[in-house]
């Protein structure tokens, strides 16, 4: 299992750093969590990979992962408690963190937060 990690927004590689996606399928049905406080839409790429684009309202949340996830924060202020970590990672503005498959992580969202989540099959 890979260790969770965080990188700044200027370290992104591949299509994660793109500001828009082309030639994708967008799923109409929204993903809605925590009574609508966290929502996202799924986009599927030609190669079958998936990402979700979403918004989180202020609050405290815990999520579990099925696959490895890379969360890109486009805008917002939040703290993240990654699996196995004892200290919260603070993100103000933009940032990125990785969560391994089969793990849980906690979020303390301070302001409305815009995110893009990439699901990585290994």
Residue 115 counted as domain residue: yes
pLDDT digits over 46-98, tens only? 999 999 999 999 999 999 999 999 999 999 999 999 999 999 999 999 999 99
Q: How far apart are CA 17 and CA 27, in angstroms?
A: 22
Residue 65: which CATH number?
2.60.120.10
Residue 29 counted as domain residue: no
- pLDDT over 50 (residue 5): no
Residue 20 counted as domain residue: no
- Beta carbons of 52 and 114 less than 8 angstroms apart: no
What are the C-alpha distances in Å from 104 to residues 31, 84, 100? 18, 10, 9
Residue 114's domain spans which residues?
5-14+55-120
**pTM score, whole prediction:** 0.83
Residue 82 counted as domain residue: yes
Nearest to 70 by CA among 43, 101, 92: 101
The pLDDT, as a whole number, for residue 66 is 96
Counting the structural domains of the chain, the total is 1
Residue 98 counted as domain residue: yes
Residue 104 counted as domain residue: yes
pLDDT digits over 12-43, tens only? 444 455 688 888 999 999 999 999 999 999 99
């Amino acid at each position: 299992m890979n260790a969770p990690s965080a990188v700044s927004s200027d370290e992104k590689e591949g299509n994660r750093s793109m500001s828009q996606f082309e030639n994708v399928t967008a799923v109409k049905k929204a993903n809605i969590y925590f009574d609508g406080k966290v929502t996202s839409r799924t986009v599927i790429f030609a190669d079958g990979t998936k990402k979700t684009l979403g918004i989180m309202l202020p609050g405290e949340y815990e999520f579990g992962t099925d696959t490895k996830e890379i969360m890109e924060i486009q805008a917002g202020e939040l703290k993240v408690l990654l699996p196995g970590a004892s200290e919260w990672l603070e993100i103000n503005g933009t940032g990125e963190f990785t969560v391994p498959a089969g793990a849980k992580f906690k979020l303390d969202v301070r302001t409305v937060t815009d995110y893009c989540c990439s699901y990585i099959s290994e």
